[in-house]
Amino acid sequence: MSKDNLKVCPIYNTFDLIGKKFTVLILRNMILYHHTRFNELLDSVEEINSKTLSLRLREMERDGLITRHVYPEMPLRVEYALTEKGKNLKPILEQMGEFSTRYCAINVFRDKKPRHFKQVLETAH
């Protein structure tokens, strides 16, 4: 396919969807740790505040990455779920994790030794 057929760079387009601050971390927690509730995400996403989390969740819903389900009970219960589109970002997140654990180990691990991302996931659960 020639460059002339593109409206926008595919990598730029994906980055536009997930590149805003905290979006990848929210996706990480939903995909890898199965977090579905606002407070779970608020407590587990590093340095995020409730206003920013609300904004990012609305953007992710608008972009078709997640759905929001409000349960008609008191107190009100809201859960978020990944759409198929959102679930398909899992390999990208895993590759980001793999890159970091192998090539940036000095910043990631106390012992500064590289390892595979799957090892990190296994010890995190």
How do residues 53-86 score in pLDDT, each as one tens digit? Answer: 999 999 999 999 999 999 988 888 999 999 999 9
Q: Distance between the two ends of the chain, CA-based, in angstroms?
A: 43
Alpha carbon distance 80, 110 (integer Å): 34
pLDDT at 2 over 80: no
Domain extents in the chain:
1-83, 89-125
How do residues 3-46 score in pLDDT, each as one tens digit? Answer: 778 888 999 999 999 999 999 999 999 999 999 999 999 999 99
Q: Identify the CATH number of the domain defined by range 1-83.
A: 1.10.10.10
Q: Give the per-residue SS3 of the chain.
A: CCHHHCCCCHHHHHHHHHCCCCHHHHHHHHHHCCCCEHHHHHHHCCCCCHHHHHHHHHHHHHCCCEEEEEECCCCCEEEEEECHHHHCCHHHHHHHHHHHHHHCHHHHCCCCCCCCHHHHHHHHC
CA dihedral of 101, 103, 108, 110, whole degrees rounded to 10: 100
